[in-house]
Structure 1
Amino acid sequence: MAPQQNIGAGAEAELPEYAGHYPLEARLGSGGMGVVHLARSTSGLKLAVKVVHAQFAKDPEFRGRFRQEVAAARRVSGAFTASVVDADPEAGRPWMATLFIPGPTLSDQVKQNGPMEPAQLRRLMAGLAEALRDIHRVGVVHRDLKPSNVLLAEDGPKVIDFGISRPTDSELRTETGKLIGTPPFMAPEQFRRPREVGPAADIFALGSVMVHAATGRGPFDSDSPYIVAYQVVHDEPDLTGIPEDLAPLVLRCLAKEPEDRPTPDELMRKLRSVAASYDTQVFVPAQRSSEAVDAPDPKPLPNASARRPGGGLRRWTALAGGVLALVTCGVLVSIHRADGNPSASGEPSSHATRTSSVSWTTEPAPSAAGFPQCNYGANELLCRQSGVGYALEPADGSLRWRRSAPEECSAGPPVVSGGLLQSCTDGGRRLTALDPATGRKVWQRDLAGPASVHYTGGMALLTGVDGVSTGVDSSSGVTKWSRRMTGVDSFVSFAGDPLAYATRTSDDGTSTQVTVIDPATGDVRWQARLTGTLRPFGTQGGSAFFLSVDRGSGGTKAVVRYDPGSRKSSRTVLPVARQEAAAAVRGNVVYILATGGSLEAFDTNTRQRLWHLETSVSRGSTPVADGGHVYVTTPDGRLLAVDARSGELLGQTRARLGANSDQVVASLPQPVVDGHRVYAAAPDGTVFAVDARRPSEW
């Protein structure tokens, strides 16, 4: 459904220009607590940004509840749940952003296409059970699972909107006399004992959602929310129309007493005997229009009249006595950078904890916030973290040196080129090279104007706004060549490949020009125009590898392999388009991790998928592959190791959240592999090393 334009009267009808640093483009929908706007990140990603109503922004109790919403949503991560990655609950108008994922809500799906088929219902129930498992295992109770809070994405159902969720260890409690939830999907205890609501209430809601998906009505239906409440507490549910093999499970979910309901794990075990496959592609009907997937639940209908069985279930957004129903948000991925530029203080101290000759943990810059970004080069482990740069001894994590570091031209780990630690600052106007062993300055060069800078092959490649590219020797700072290059805006390079790559996509997105140069001379090695919007991510055996991205949705739909020798390309099509995909290549195998935690391996020779693993992380770093493993860093600081041949999860480190874990970086730092060690970093500011040979012992 197309985004709604600004409608209504009063101040709320005016579209705010920004939420934080996100420009707001259109209004997607409105609910009792806030308005959801369409926005785009700096890189062009579609976002759904929830901005609370002005009157609630002045209410201290609501602010506390909104902070709780953000905290609850951030604790949840999984393949079937939504994850918040940027928010400001302390702003004048508190807001929260999520990645915009195309796909109708279950509510809209039933309204537009009628009740689901039995096969769809089984897969929906399995996906929701897994979602609740992910939610409950981090100590969160959703408390408002309903059809408008279930988004039917191409790769499965996503549970969204944690507006009234509460972590079980939270100090925020429901006030006496207030009900929180949506009556047709509330459990009996939410009416009788609202202060004692636990995970079993979400199971009851799952049962109600399944009845709605199968019939278009609820198990307890009435025009009056008071009658619905009475029926939920006292009457038996109406399961007419539920498939025979699912009816017993749904009935158990709707048990009056919480202890009589199944757990998510029990539901999944039972469902495995009912359906052998969870092919979630059937959730998205072929006949729906492109507009139907362009906004998550864009038209809240707080005053819609009730529909009879076979139609859409009435959406209750308010109940006398204070039922809170929040606007549906969508799933998002954030872009947030921790600010600050602390200088080095005191004498260097590593605070390293050694657990073996291989493994260690250290916190080199306790006063700095956020994830350290690290790289291995010149026999040092070099890191940068919120205005501080430092070097660690790879063997034991001891601190070699530490110094203040100006803000770099681009995010990412430190770069060693020409044997020196390179730095680009002042918006691309200054280059500095340091001795990686001591941190002392070797040379510095001010540029005539701002430039995009990339290091490869012992050279700094500068691309100015005038279109002139320049090659500067990284070891001396001396210019080696300069020329104007058509179709070059900036360069990228890949480990083990001395060449530099530049891509430019046509205005209509139908083709991408690839230009490859020798960084030492600036000579063009080869050029090609390839079909589609392509993003390079690696090279192997003389071939270049690209992700093919859909311009409309931003999803990755294929891997393209191009051989410049034969000038032939091949496409490996993904079974489902993946959002925010990051990829690595090893030999002829490509490993892709997408938002939601889906990790897949594809053989580009046979063009077949080798394996698929749901990692249950909301988002992850770009994967790193060595001879036998694939490594990924997660937002909570865990390092995962997956068998590169089978896709089996072999091990993971513990979470390291820290005090500033609510500040989410734009991209997670990649693990660094060096021989038998894997180095990784966490949001608590620690850098650690583990034995690559023994992931099961992490």
Structure 2
Amino acid sequence: MSLRAGDPAEIGGYPLEARLGSGGMGTVFLARTSSGRPVAIKLIHQQFASDSEFRIRFRQEVAAARRVSGAFTAAVVDAAPEADHPWMATAYIEGPTLAQRIADDGPLRGAGLRSLAIGLAEALRDIHRVGVVHRDLKPSNVVLSAEGPRVIDFGISRAADQQTLTMTGRVIGTPPFMSPEQLQAPRGVGPRSDVFSLATLLVYAATGRGPFDADSPYLTAYQVVHEEPSLDAVPAALRTVVEPCLGKEPEGRPSADELLELLRDLPSELGESAADGPGAAAGRTRDVLTEHHLATRDTPAPKAPATDVSGAGNSRTAIGRRLRGRWRPVLAAAVAVAAIGGGVTALQAGGIGGSDTEDHGNRTTAAPGAALPDGFTPWHRTVLGGRKDIPDELRCVARGDGVFCGGGGVVAARISAKDGSRAWTALSPGIPVQGMHLVGATDDTVLGYRFAAEDAPQDPDTEVVAIDADSGRELWSAPAGGRSTAVTGRTEDAVLMGDAVVTVDATDTAFEARDAHSGEIAWTQPFPAGEQCAPVPMGADLLAMCATDAELSASSVRHPTLYPVDRTSGTWGEAIEVDGPAVPMGDADGRLVLLQEHWEGAAMTGYDGVVRVDPASGKAAYTRLSTTYGGTPGMAGGTVYVSGQTGLVTALDPATGRKKWSRQTSVEGASGPAAGDGALYFSSATGRVVALSPADGTSLWTTDPRADGLTGEQGASPRVTVAGGALIVAAAGNTVFAFDARNPPKPG
């Protein structure tokens, strides 16, 4: 792609010709040496130049890449890691990444698969012979050149005799291709961690799927650590080689030299006869967290014709939502993924629009009009849960001078808004459900979820618990069922509506409405026959979103139905059919806004349409988006926002589907938005917060990370709570902190 206004004309004396890719950490340009040789120059974003830890990491990347100069890697041509604006130039390798190749043409077979395997093993041998551990082998870091495969990106590598930096809040790997030890103890990984990653990559090349693929990075990480790999679709000859490489213990795996010897013995017709084996042609997946490396070309997202169809629906043929069952997080995996930190993150192709830049020098604040809590000083606390091995993040709400937080092993806790001191904590003994945090709070009551202990099978799996806001005393509890995640794509089995809480009963057959403080049942309303439902708030109104038992059993909710529900009596209105899969976002102008999911095979790749449902008329209006937006959606002030994994935030008008603006930020995997006076706040699991102007997405300020957490996460609920002029932020490891929105912490 061509250079943009504001791009430099040259770097280090190398004239620039084009952009190759850009994102949160830096930009890669195509340039030429004086002899005409093409080179790829990685220019690190200026805001990281003042980050001493990042500079150390970048110097290590340059040093590691210089030590590796084999035939199957990209050689360093020049570098200036100490420059005011650091950069590194490597030999330019033309060709698609392995991720692009598998996505476009499906799995490899025969001589092509064998050549790839041998080439990558040779590259790994060369890397290890000079004492470097790559630590991020994955499909987007392999370029398929005309001369053979090339391994690129040494951004998180290390010399075998160095200590690994722990950089808060930056990705150091991609769970489907990480070794068990990298997930559990990243400081101690050695060369045989790369052997494990290479084996996962070869399984991906042969089948289109990784050997531990799951519906979320958390589950994937658990399977890497604890489960056996899925190798049924791997050609038999290759399976005998990769299987020992996927052993849980590093010492049981072959070295890169030993692996190369085994691969050279493979037959040239590798896998040709297995082309019709299970999954051989079905798995055209993409690298789930970072689809393209910095040095690959930008690939625009597929365009869809924009249409606005009022009435019953459109002709979309996307596969419906797979059943998103309850996830009792596997403890080791959750800890492992939450602990990921450090390194230069890759960038998502096609995610940068014409205005997608971040002004890090501009620290204009939002100037909220609301006052700070009396006696407020910035604070930082950790809320301990019932089990130390559950690292779930909390979510918080503010009421008066109290902040109420819950999630994971905490049903609810009360913290002082002014200084973070803890008044009380109610613990949950069991293993939580992913994404289920706090139900909500009234002036006198807090409602959260409690999960049964593993040694108490007689207790309800899930309960809604009401707690007195002042004393922390439990008021009542009720068993709760619910298939909200499968039906709506959101984990809201209970919703607070004024002073009442609406739940799904323990049998998954009816709504129950209770007084939030007393627990007295106001009404019970059975679901329609053959359907299961979840409550959906729309401002002050309540809707039920339902799916048939047949669709739920098939793990494919393509035709959900909405019913208006009278909050006083529980009476249901007329059914409104919706063309799905669709996720409810919120209300705008008296209509419920939903985003339509776009599916490619078994993978949900983003959102490609908006549905607006008018409960009064029973009509649903549909608008196609001009492209598919991937990331975490949210809504504030009548506008829909999608936060991409690499920090791109896009604002969409739900009435027209038009993109209002896009802004590239440095907050990867952000959830949000939370709205304050004159600002929108987005935050990641690392606790990094960015404030954007609602009008045009201008960056007002950005903070540094505050916790070790997962970046690149999708689907998380908002982590920022506005308490007057203060921001309360929940981060990984049950970390909660607060600061003045008018005087945010300065980076560095």
Please give the TM-score of this superposition, normalised by the length of structure 1. Answer: 0.52
Counterpart Cα distance in 2 of 1:299 and 1:610: 46
SS of the aligned residue for 2:532 comes to coil
Indicate which of 429, 432, 435 corresponds to 1:406.
429
Deviation at 1:515, TM superposition (A): 2.0
C-alpha distance after superposition, 1:548-590 (max 9, x if no partner): 1123341211222222334444444333312343121313x22
Contact 1:578 1:595 in 2 (8 A): no
Equivalent residue runs for 1:65-464 within 5 Å: 79=23, 167=57, 180=68, 183-187=71-75, 203-205=89-91, 207-209=92-94, 330-332=287-289, 337=329, 339=331, 358-365=376-383, 369=391, 371-377=393-399, 379-384=401-406, 386-388=408-410, 389-407=412-430, 411-416=436-441, 419-425=444-450, 426=452, 427-428=460-461, 430-445=463-478, 453-457=493-497, 458-464=500-506
Counterpart Cα distance in 2 of 1:292 and 1:136: 43
Counterpart Cα distance in 1 of 2:94 and 2:539: 52
Does residue 467 (structure 1) correspond to residue 509 (structure 2)? The answer is yes
Counterpart Cα distance in 2 of 1:126 and 1:558: 37
SS of the aligned residue for 2:534 comes to coil
SS of the aligned residue for 2:93 comes to helix
Report the equivalent of 2:17.
none
C-alpha distance after superposition, 1:141-197 (max 9, x if no partner): 9xxxxxxxxxxxxxxxxxxxxxxxx945889x979xx9757625431589xx9xx9x
Contact 1:584 1:625 in 2 (8 A): no
Contact 1:375 1:382 in 2 (8 A): yes
Report the equivalent of 2:696.
646
Unaligned 5+ runs, structure 1 = 1-76, 83-115, 117-123, 142-165, 217-221, 230-252, 254-290, 304-317, 342-353
Does residue 612 (structure 1) correspond to residue 654 (structure 2)? The answer is no
Deviation at 1:468, TM superposition (A): 2.9
SS of the aligned residue for 2:494 comes to strand
Report the equivalent of 1:539.
587
C-alpha distance after superposition, 1:489-539 (max 9, x if no partner): 342444742414324378476533112313442111453112232111101
Pair 475,127 (structure 1): closer, same or farther in 2 beyond 3 Å: farther
Q: Counterpart amino acid of 1:399?
A: R
Deviation at 1:478, TM superposition (A): 2.1
Deviation at 1:80, TM superposition (A): 7.1
Counterpart Cα distance in 2 of 1:169 and 1:371: 33
SS of the aligned residue for 1:582 comes to strand
Pair 429,356 (structure 1): closer, same or farther in 2 beyond 3 Å: closer
Q: Counterpart amino acid of 1:204?
A: T
Pair 504,419 (structure 1): closer, same or farther in 2 beyond 3 Å: farther
C-alpha distance after superposition, 1:116-161 (max 9, x if no partner): 9xxxxxxx999976799999989689xxxxxxxxxxxxxxxxxxxx
Report the equivalent of 1:673.
722
Q: Counterpart amino acid of 2:414?
A: A
Deviation at 1:299, TM superposition (A): 10
C-alpha distance after superposition, 1:644-679 (max 9, x if no partner): 101111112221125x77998983652112332221
Q: Counterpart amino acid of 2:504?
A: L
Deviation at 1:692, TM superposition (A): 3.4
Counterpart Cα distance in 2 of 1:126 and 1:546: 42
Pair 558,133 (structure 1): closer, same or farther in 2 beyond 3 Å: farther
Deviation at 1:454, TM superposition (A): 0.7
Contact 1:621 1:670 in 2 (8 A): yes
Counterpart Cα distance in 2 of 1:500 and 1:406: 32
Counterpart Cα distance in 1 of 2:425 and 2:742: 31
Report the equivalent of 1:349.
none
SS of the aligned residue for 2:646 comes to coil
Higher relative contact order (CA 8 A, sep 6+): 2
Give me the CA root mean square deviation: 5.6
C-alpha distance after superposition, 1:65-106 (max 9, x if no partner): xxxxxxxxxxxx984789xxxxxxxxxxxxxxxxxxxxxxxx
Report the equivalent of 1:273.
none
Deviation at 1:609, TM superposition (A): 1.2
Q: Which segment is superposed worse, 469-478 or 371-380?
A: 371-380
Pair 470,649 (structure 1): closer, same or farther in 2 beyond 3 Å: same
Contact 2:630 2:642 in 1 (8 A): no
Q: Counterpart amino acid of 2:378?
A: W
Q: Counterpart amino acid of 2:590?
A: G
Report the equivalent of 1:563.
614
Counterpart Cα distance in 2 of 1:202 and 1:299: 38
Deviation at 1:456, TM superposition (A): 2.2
Deviation at 1:643, TM superposition (A): 0.6
Report the equivalent of 2:731.
682
Indicate which of 629, 643, 654 corresponds to 1:578.
629
Indicate which of 545, 568, 571 corresponds to 1:502.
545
Q: Counterpart amino acid of 2:630?
A: Q
Report the equivalent of 1:27.
none
Counterpart Cα distance in 2 of 1:174 and 1:606: 50
Counterpart Cα distance in 2 of 1:136 and 1:126: 24
Q: Counterpart amino acid of 2:596?
A: S
Contact 2:592 2:613 in 1 (8 A): yes
Contact 1:78 1:134 in 2 (8 A): no
Deviation at 1:620, TM superposition (A): 1.5
Report the equivalent of 2:649.
599
- The alignment of Structure 1 onto Structure 2 pairs a total of residues equal to 445
Q: Counterpart amino acid of 1:584?
A: M
SS of the aligned residue for 2:578 comes to strand
Q: Counterpart amino acid of 1:478?
A: E
Q: Counterpart amino acid of 2:381?
A: E
Counterpart Cα distance in 2 of 1:481 and 1:630: 38
Contact 2:482 2:534 in 1 (8 A): no
Unaligned 5+ runs, structure 2 = 1-20, 31-37, 102-118, 127-151, 153-204, 212-232, 239-254, 264-284, 291-323, 335-371, 453-459, 485-492
Contact 1:337 1:665 in 2 (8 A): no
Report the equivalent of 2:563.
515
Contact 1:430 1:446 in 2 (8 A): yes
Deviation at 1:598, TM superposition (A): 2.2
Pair 614,329 (structure 1): closer, same or farther in 2 beyond 3 Å: same
Pair 322,183 (structure 1): closer, same or farther in 2 beyond 3 Å: farther
Counterpart Cα distance in 1 of 2:473 and 2:409: 16
Percent of aligned pairs with the same residue?
20
Contact 1:463 1:470 in 2 (8 A): yes
Q: Which segment is superposed worse, 490-499 or 512-521?
A: 490-499
Pair 358,378 (structure 1): closer, same or farther in 2 beyond 3 Å: closer
Counterpart Cα distance in 2 of 1:684 and 1:607: 37
Q: Counterpart amino acid of 1:531?
A: D
Report the equivalent of 1:630.
680
Counterpart Cα distance in 2 of 1:586 and 1:357: 30
Pair 135,697 (structure 1): closer, same or farther in 2 beyond 3 Å: closer
